């Protein structure tokens, strides 16, 4: 099953496919892989595009130690003095083509892998969230819902970095 996440005619549409235990999201960016990589791995850039503006969430803190065995932690303000944290470890770091990390905030945590393939100055990105079981995927299927908006924000950021 393939779903288009943006209206037909979108310049660089985001597509999503659900498998037995994984969600696979892809999009092409009008930027070289090295810039897309930097946007994923440099905290000062990552924080500028990662949170969907429509979510109403505020990113309170971001820590990234992008190396195999290094960790990351994102803390969001949910209002009413409540926060939510996402955290894990990087398990593969191969600049500028592959980045993989664990999501350790629950026992259902996925392993997320981003691959970047550059052709003619454009970069095709594939993001895979692989869950330990089908039930874990079913419980977390909404985790990628914000990606089309996030990727639009990433497009805008990349246009400023060229």
- Residues 14-34 have pLDDT tens digits of 999 999 999 999 999 999 999
Tens of pLDDT, residues 90-134: 999 999 999 999 999 988 999 999 999 999 999 999 999 999 999
Containing domain of residue 104, as a range?
Answer: 2-161
pLDDT of residue 10: 58
DSSP H helical ranges for 94-140:
134-140
Q: Could you tell me which residues are beta bridge partners of residue 107?
A: none
> How would residue 6 be classed by pLDDT, with cut points 50, 70 and 90?
very low
Q: Report the CATH number that the domain containing residue 137 is assigned in CATH.
A: 3.30.530.20
Say how many C-beta atoms besides its own lie within 10 A of residue 64's C-beta: 19
Cβ–Cβ < 8 Å for 101, 73: no
pLDDT of residue 142: 79
For 119, phi then psi, to 5°, come to -150, 125
At CA 11, angle to CA 10 and CA 15, rounded to 5? 65
Enter the pTM of the model.
0.90
Q: What domain count does the chain have?
A: 1
Tens of pLDDT, residues 64-99: 999 999 999 999 998 899 999 999 999 999 999 999
pLDDT of residue 144: 82
**Distance from CA of residue 81 to its chain's centroid?**
26
């Amino acid at each position: 099953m393939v779903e288009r996440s943006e209206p037909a005619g979108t310049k660089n549409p985001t597509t999503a496919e659900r498998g037995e235990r994984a969600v696979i999201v892809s999009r092409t960016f009008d930027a070289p892989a090295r810039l897309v990589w930097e946007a994923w791995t440099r905290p000062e850039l990552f924080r500028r595009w990662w949170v969907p503006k429509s979510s109403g969430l505020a990113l309170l803190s971001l820590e990234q130690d992008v190396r195999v065995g290094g960790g990351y932690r994102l803390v969001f303000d949910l209002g009413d003095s409540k926060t939510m944290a996402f955290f894990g470890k990087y398990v593969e770091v191969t600049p500028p083509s592959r980045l993989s990390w664990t999501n350790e905030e629950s026992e259902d945590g996925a392993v997320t892998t981003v691959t970047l393939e550059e052709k003619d100055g454009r970069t095709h990105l594939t993001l895979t969230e692989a869950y330990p079981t089908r039930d874990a995927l079913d419980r977390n299927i909404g985790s990628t819902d914000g990606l089309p908006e996030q990727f639009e924000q990433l497009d805008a950021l990349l246009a400023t970095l060229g």
